[in-house]
Structure 1
Amino acid sequence: MRVDYRKLFPHGVGAMLRLEQAVAGSGLEPELLELVRIRASQINGCAYCLAMHHRDARGRGEHQTRLDVVAAWREAQEVFTPRERAALAWCEALTELPRAGAPDGDYEPVSSAFTPEETAALTFAIVAINGWNRLAVGLRTPVTSLDGLDLPTTPSTPADPA
């Protein structure tokens, strides 16, 4: 780890945790929030957050196939509800904000599937996971520091093709 932000700036971590608590109390479905966190973490290449949120989603009973295809949710629309698809599209738009610019085409399904209060909470959830991703990727939080993962003790090497 480049800098242990958890120890060196606990007030910042505390502020992020309070934001997470506010989102958790918003009434949004925890399963939907995990899908959004996974999708943002995929886009941002955050191994730590991917491992954490896959673990948490499985712990909530999420089906492995849905987790396997969340990166290609547009091609696997039949396994996601319209509400989940709207949230995933909004997540992608906000995570890729410089490129995407949060287009109306991504906002309209959100405004149809979510109340204004839920839309605000969902947007804060996306802001939060993008912040965590930047901390974990930028400061190199090691996946192996995450408790409760079923990690191999040593990375496997590819079999000899000969």
Structure 2
Amino acid sequence: MTERVFVDKQHPRAYQALLDVAKAARAAAREAGLDRGLVELVNLRVSQLNRCAYCLALHTEALHKLGETRLAVLPAWDETDLFSPVESAALRLAESLTTLPDTAAQDAAYAQAAEVLTPDQLSAVEWVVVTINAFNRVSIGSRHPVTGLSA
């Protein structure tokens, strides 16, 4: 296997810009009334879909620190009643924006989310999804190693 360039290290200004966008997205979510736990659930679900091991480890640890106990069922969140309507709307929208299904399916996911989320919340969730997808690609492309996991 060819050794990968860590693009975050190779072009730190570009990576810093991405960090700044993510910080702004988290602030937008907070200002829209979405808590950090919901943001981290979205980050984890998107990272599951993208199979980003580095981000999976990072956001799983963050959710453990927040006391989240539903991680085992997150891949099947829509088969349970364990997630609130707001969480479900955010997760459905996140999946739709990550997998980019056909237009009709994406429109349906957006319409369902719009029934529960305010315009500010919809926008904030979309920005969170955009940034975690970008971070997933940075880590996947760079093959960032997963180390130092806590039990």
Structure 1 portions without partners, runs of 5+ = 152-162
Choose the corresponding residue for 1:25, options 24, 27, 37. 27
The answer to whether the 8 Å contact 1:51/1:143 transfers is yes
Percent identity of equivalent pairs: 40
Choose the corresponding residue for 2:107, options 104, 122, 126. 104
Counterpart AA for 2:68: E
Choose the corresponding residue for 1:59, options 65, 70, 85. 65
The answer to whether the 8 Å contact 1:93/1:100 transfers is no
Choose the corresponding residue for 1:75, options 76, 79, 97. 79
Task: Provide the TM-score with structure 2 as the length reference.
Answer: 0.89
Q: 1:112, CA displacement in angstroms?
A: 1.8
The answer to whether the 8 Å contact 2:8/2:138 transfers is no
Aligned length: 144
Distance (Å, rounded) in 2 between the aligned partners of 1:139 and 1:124: 23
- RMSD of the alignment, in Å? 1.5
Task: Provide the TM-score with structure 1 as the length reference.
Answer: 0.83
1:94 equivalent in alignment to 2:97: yes
| Structure with bigger RCO (C-alpha 8 Å, 6+ apart) | 2
Q: 1:109, CA displacement in angstroms?
A: 2.1
Distance (Å, rounded) in 1 between the aligned partners of 2:133 and 2:9: 20
Structure 2 portions without partners, runs of 5+ = none
User: In proportion to residue count, which structure has more helix?
Assistant: 2
For 1:46, the equivalent position in structure 2 comes to: 52
The answer to whether the 8 Å contact 1:2/1:139 transfers is yes
For 2:41, the equivalent position in structure 1 comes to: 35
Q: 1:6, CA displacement in angstroms?
A: 2.2
